[in-house]
Amino acid sequence: MTSLCFVVESGTDVRLVEGLASRFDLSIVARRIEGGVEISQPPSEPVPITVGPASRLKFAGFVWKYLRTHRQEIDLVIVQGYGLAALAANLAGLFYRKPTVMLVCSPVEAYYRCRKLHEETGKPFLRRELFALQVLARINAFIGQHYVVLSRHLADVVRKHGTRSRIDVIPIYGVDTGVFTPPRESKAAIRSRLGLPAEGALIFFSSRVAPEKDSETLLTAMRSLLDRGRDCWLLHRSGGYQAFMKDAKRFGIADRVIATDAVHPHRQLPMDYQACDLCVQASRQEGLGFSPLEALACGVPVVATSVGGLRETIEDGQTGWTYPVGDAAALACSIESALDDSEEATRRTRAGRVMVSAKYERQIAFAELDRVLLLSQRRELSRRLVETP
């Protein structure tokens, strides 16, 4: 079995880890996440994981040393993003002739620019840091061998860095449409089992709390809906739920918000979708956005911003409702339209589930990822044979 090393700089989803582990002899090298976790949930089967320093600079050095030390044991390397860890992995790939693939799940520079909107509460926006990110992106574009990106939008992002490397668009772990499926029982029964409100519209928002996810616009829209007499609730699951509840109190709607830590993506998350009447993705920037895809697979209507990779999945009038970034009034109107027209919501949601099943199903995504990674390995072996005297 091919030996694959996955370099994780910013935490990763257990579904990706489990999918890779089922197809490769997987090992993980991860940067320590202070106050968080390196893998979103414990994998169902043990996976060797080596945790390095929390500092991104020190972690890059750690990655270089690890790949140098274990170069005889590793056939293939995947590294998150195009930052410092990717630079270390790409350099090691060049020196030690290891096929190295950059897995790009987000538009890093665009996410960073969103900090300008939240300098008073979040991490500060520093021009020198943005410049450093841009420089790293271009260096990695120059020396890198191969990209795997989630969406056509992200393919355009990395092309603008000046790369001439191969780019494959694959929605990595995809959506398991056998798990994320329309409910076989009533929403009332599911809500009762989960301890959720029996009455009122339940709106799901599972994005992490970060400037690019724009929870403030959603909270503003919820405040407006409640002021207009709407009976609605907001369900939030993420590692940043405490910050989300703090913001909900600031908006005066904490009594209409249910927020907890993130739940297991296969054991409870599908039931959360099935219990809800609507899913909202409020992002200011987005690489792809899995939450809308999971919601559609569960037969739940979606309202999302028209931005980034979301434009490829949520089409207004076709697979959901869209609204301009940061426009709370438009978001509130879209929520009302989705909740008030059940026939139209059903039509768009059914079309969305067909789209998810055809383009984003888990088995399809992993089969393509498997093919692309093994092809990358074979290309490197072929180069070695050609260069061997």
304-328 pLDDT, tens digit each = 999 999 999 999 999 999 999 999 9
Residue 375 is predicted with a pLDDT of 85
Give the amino acid at 126. L
The amino acid at residue 227 is D
Q: What contacts 67, CB < 8 A, 6 or more positions away?
A: 5, 74, 77, 88, 89, 92, 93, 96, 98
Tell me, what's the pLDDT at 203? 98
Mean pLDDT throughout 177-183?
96
pLDDT for residue 389 is more than 60: no
The percentage of residues in the chain with a pLDDT greater than 90, rounded to a whole number, is: 89
Find out whether 303 and 335 touch, Cβ atoms under 8 Å: yes
Over 70: is that where the pLDDT of 205 sits?
Answer: yes
| pLDDT for 386 | 54
Contacts of residue 189, Cβ cutoff 8 Å, sequence gap at least 6: none
Average pLDDT over residues 104-112: 96
Q: What is the mean pLDDT of the chain?
A: 94
> What span, in angstroms and rounded, lies between the C-alpha atoms of 121 and 240?
14
Q: How many CB atoms lie within 10 A of CB 222?
A: 26
Question: Chain-centre distance of CA 4, in angstroms?
Answer: 21
240: confidence class by pLDDT, cuts 50, 70, 90: confident
pTM of the model: 0.94
DSSP, res 106? S
Q: Over the range 15-38, which residues count as b (16 or more CB within 10 Å of their CB) and which as e?
A: bbbbbbbebbbbbbbbbebeeeeb
Q: Identify the structural domains of the chain with CATH numbers, from first to last.
A: 3-174+362-387 (3.40.50.2000), 187-359 (3.40.50.2000)
- The backbone torsions φ and ψ at residue 20, rounded to the nearest 5 degrees and listed phi first, read -65, -40
Provide the token pair at 240: 């940043």
Closest C-alpha to 194, from 273, 113, 278:
273
Measured in whole angstroms, the distance separating CA 45 from the mean position of its chain's CA atoms is 22
User: What's the confidence (pLDDT) of residue 387?
Assistant: 57
Look up residue 109 and give its two tokens. Answer: 């520079």
Tokens 């994998």, located at residue: 43
